[in-house]
Amino acid sequence: MQNLRSLRQRIRSVQNTQKITKAMQMVAGAKLRRMQAELTGFKPYAQRLEAIAKRFLAVQPGLMHPLLTGGNAEGLVGLLLITSDTGLCGAYNERVIHTAANFLKENPLAKIVTVGRKGSRSFARRGISRHREILDWGGRYDAKATREFVLWIQKSYWSGEVSAWYVAYTQFISALSWKPTLERILPLEYEAAGSSTEKLLIEPEAAELADILLKRYLEAGVTRILLEAFTAEHSARMIAMKNATENAAEMISTLTLVRNKARQASITKELLEVVSGAEALK
């Protein structure tokens, strides 16, 4: 039977850990609510913009734009991997890194861009080089930084440096559910021109409108992906910390029971010694 002092120390240690995990659960929950509100507010805009872009392209036979065709169909593909900067979020990072690794098996020469320290470090350990690393977003969406990043993606595609851009991220489904997803972001997907008989009155000219519309369509798509990934990250961390808090409570209960048994055994032993001593004096 363990001595009472060591049991009390272990219980206090687990209680301190439980306080930390509980605080982290609450912080992750607050971040989740904030990010989920941003995602919920942005999604209708992204979906409506996508519908407008596809409707526009469907009635524009012969329309050419770099975001639809790119500059080098034979170039290497690019992969954008979105992970977290910090840990303590369960299997969030491992699952999306596994998705990216499967993609690289089929595209071993792909140019890799990592958003998040966990993905970058995982690839570094495997000896996989990164074309670019973004290590300071910390699960926070920044409109200016995203816009600059999208412009960089556009330029690398227009120049023919890559023939297509794919992204491996974690799609947010609900506060309790998410899944790793691989999605192509360039070239933009659209219905074949001329597939619609609808007539649209377009102003300004179709080529000018296409340039404005498609750039916003791409930016909205990347923004939606980042918001989903960051929301899923905070959800995963909240659940991981909730599970850790519950496990700590279970461990405290078990250790308390062991402590009580040890204390009872100690008391029983002392009583037996007193009774034995009294009997010896008779």
Residues with Cβ within 8 Å of 169's Cβ and at least 6 positions away in sequence, in order, are 80, 81, 82, 96, 180, 181, 183, 225, 226, 228, 229
What three-state secondary structure class fits 178? strand
| In a domain? residue 281 | no
Summarize pLDDT for 164-217 with one digit per residue, the tens: 999 999 999 998 899 999 999 998 876 665 555 667 777 778 888 888 999 999
pLDDT band for position 282 (50/70/90)? low
CB burial class (10 A; 0-12, 13-18, 19+) of residue 115? buried
Q: Is residue 63 part of a domain?
A: yes
> Which pLDDT belongs to residue 279?
65
- Residue 22 in domain: no
Element housing 80 (H / E): strand 76-82
Q: What is the pTM of this model?
A: 0.86
The answer to whether position 7 is within a domain reads no
Domain coverage including residue 170 = 32-239
Q: Is residue 3 part of a domain?
A: no
Q: What is the pLDDT of residue 71?
A: 56
262 falls in which pLDDT band (50, 70, 90)? confident
Residues 97, 103, 104, 105: is their CA dihedral positive or negative?
A: positive
Question: Is 189 a member of any domain?
Answer: yes
More confident residue, 26 or 197: 26
Within 13 Å, how many C-alpha atoms sit on residue 190's CB side? 32
Residues 89 and 116: beta-carbon distance below 8 Å: no
pLDDT band of residue 47 (cuts 50, 70, 90) is very high
Instruction: Tell me the pLDDT tens digit for each residue of 74-86.
Output: 678 999 999 999 9
Residue 262 included in any domain = no
Name the percent of the chain lying above pLDDT 70: 89
Q: How confident is the model at residue 70 (pLDDT cuts 50, 70, 90)?
A: low
The two tokens of residue 115 are 């958003």
Number of domains the chain is built from = 1
Q: CB–CB of 113/82 below 8 Å?
A: no
Q: Is residue 217 part of a domain?
A: yes
Q: Would the pLDDT of 69 be above 80?
A: no
For residues 66 and 153, what is the distance between their CA atoms, to the nearest angstrom? 12
Cα distances (angstroms) measured from residue 259 to each of 12, 247, 272: 12, 18, 20
Q: What is the CATH number of the domain that holds 174?
A: 3.40.1380.10
